[in-house]
């Protein structure tokens, strides 16, 4: 039983790492990425190839996988963000990018094509995941509460005004993108060494969608919201294994319902904190008079 629970938690934490990265990007710069699974896949393949073919140390491979994700994020972000694409154009560019990476993975000799890489060393365990998650959340938290984070929030709220105030939109967005791609790559490396098997068809646009859904449902502009949303997204379907097919139907419906009824998401712009819990508690008991 504990093995099952820890399995669910591990999977949840892997996605939390990737989603926190995406939350920093989408939630704080207002740009939409529909291709984050590609960064995830790049991290997974880099780390797996390093440990599988070259016998690298697991932790070194993880770090390099994250860096590979970040590097590709930089390479794709530099031209697209430099051109100051509209949100829609950027989303479509990342969508195409995600598909292109998957096609490449299916056809490169080193990735063994669609057959995938079996027999990767299973080195990801719960302690490693907990350390990585804490580290990533801590980094994201510091990034958002830094000068850079404030600049990003300004960009999201009104980028014309932000630019007038001297915020460099390009640098702000690029830095967020590289960070989120790094997180996705790290999560990919953990994923590969958790399941011990990867193949290109695991990293479809559904994975990108699921991450984006978690960020939106959790609240754009919050870190704790997406984290909670991811854990719910992973936990509930695992608990209700029967409804496997209907899970994605529910995701879609939920995205629309959230947009229609509660566009700020679960947490809105707030973070889960002691004060917030206290105020909920007061509201619950005093019937909204607090």
Partner 1 sequence: MFVQTLLTGLAIGGIYALMAVGYSLVFSILNFSNFAYGSIIMLGAYISYFAMMKLGLPLGAALALSILGAAALCYLNERLAYSPLRKRHASSLFFMISAMGTAIFLENLVYAIVGAHFYAFPEVFTKRNLSFHGVSIGVLDVFAITFSFAAIYALHYFLQKSRTGIAIRAASYDIQVCSLNGVNDKHLIGLVFCLAGGLAGISGTFLGMKYIVYPTMGWITNKAYIAAVIGGLGSLPGAVVGGILLGVTETFVSAYVSSVVRDVFSFSLLVILLMVMPTGLFGRFLEEKV
For partner 1, the binding residues (CB under 8 A) are: 30, 32, 34, 76, 79-80, 82-89, 91-93, 95-97, 99-100, 103-104, 107, 157-161, 209, 212-213, 216, 245-246, 248-249, 251-256, 258-260, 263
Segment (H or E) for 73: helix 58-82
CB of 42 to partner 1, least distance (A): 14
* Closest approach of partner 1 to the CB of residue 208, in Å: 10
Interatomic CA distance for residues 213 and 81, integer angstroms: 23
Are 42 and 69 contacting, i.e. CB atoms less than 8 angstroms apart? yes
User: Is the distance from CB of 234 to CB of 42 less than 8 angstroms?
Assistant: no
* Nearer to partner 1 among residue 264 and residue 270 (C-beta): 264
CB-nearer residue toward partner 1: 30 or 235: 30
CB of 98 to partner 1, least distance (A): 9
Integer Cα distance of 77 and 97 in angstroms: 11
Looking at the Cβ atoms of 239 and 260, the one nearer to partner 1 is: 260
Smallest distance, partner 1 to C-beta of residue 263, A = 6
With a CB cutoff of 8 Å and minimum separation 6, the contacts of 181 are 21, 36, 39, 69, 70, 72, 73, 74, 77
Is residue 75 a contact partner of residue 191, using CB atoms and an 8 Å limit? no
Q: Whose Cβ is closer to partner 1: residue 71's or residue 248's?
A: 248
* CB closer to partner 1, 146 vs 244: 244
Task: Give burial (CB, 10 Å; 0-12/13-18/19+) of 240.
Answer: exposed
DSSP state, residue 242 = G
Residue placing its CB nearer to partner 1 in the complex, 41 or 64: 41
By DSSP bridging, strand 197-198 and strand 117-118 are: antiparallel
Are the C-beta atoms of 140 and 24 separated by less than 8 Å? yes
In the complex with partner 1, the residue whose CB is nearer, 34 or 44, is: 34
Whether the CB-CB separation of 47 and 189 falls below 8 Å is answered with: yes
Using a 10 angstrom Cβ sphere, with 0-12 exposed, 13-18 middle and 19 or more buried, the burial of residue 112 is middle
Shortest gap between Cβ of 20 and partner 1 (angstroms)?
A: 19
Minimum distance between the CB of residue 223 and partner 1, rounded to whole angstroms? 19
Least Å distance between CB 261 and partner 1?
8
């Amino acid at each position: 039983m504990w093995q099952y629970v820890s399995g669910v938690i591990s999977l949840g934490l892997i996605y939390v790492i990737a989603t926190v990265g995406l939350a920093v990007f989408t939630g704080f710069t207002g740009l939409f990425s529909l291709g984050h699974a590609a960064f995830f896949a790049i991290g997974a393949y880099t780390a797996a190839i390093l440990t599988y073919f070259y016998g690298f140390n697991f932790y070194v491979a993880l770090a390099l996988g994250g860096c590979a994700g970040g590097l590709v994020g930089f390479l794709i972000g530099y031209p697209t963000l430099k051109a100051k694409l509209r949100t829609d154009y950027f989303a479509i560019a990342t969508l195409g990018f995600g598909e292109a990476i998957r096609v490449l993975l299916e056809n490169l000799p080193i990735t063994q094509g669609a057959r995938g890489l079996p027999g990767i060393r299973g080195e990801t365990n719960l302690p490693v995941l907990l350390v990585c998650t804490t580290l990533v959340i801590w980094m994201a938290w510091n990034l958002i509460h830094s000068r850079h984070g404030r600049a990003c929030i300004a960009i999201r709220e009104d980028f014309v005004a932000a630019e007038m105030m001297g915020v460099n939109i390009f640098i702000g967005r690029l830095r967020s993108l590289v960070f989120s791609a790094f997180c996705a790559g790290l999560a990919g490396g953990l994923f590969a060494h958790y399941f011990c098997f990867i193949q290109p068809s695991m990293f479809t646009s559904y994975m990108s969608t699921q991450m984006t859904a978690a960020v939106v449902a959790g609240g754009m502009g919050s870190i704790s919201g997406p984290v909670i949303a991811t854990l719910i997204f992973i936990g509930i379907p695992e608990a209700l294994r029967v409804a496997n097919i209907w899970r994605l139907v529910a995701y879609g419906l939920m995205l629309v319902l959230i947009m229609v009824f509660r566009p700020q998401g679960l947490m809105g712009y707030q973070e889960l904190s002691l004060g917030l819990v206290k105020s909920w508690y007061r509201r619950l008991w005093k019937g909204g008079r607090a």
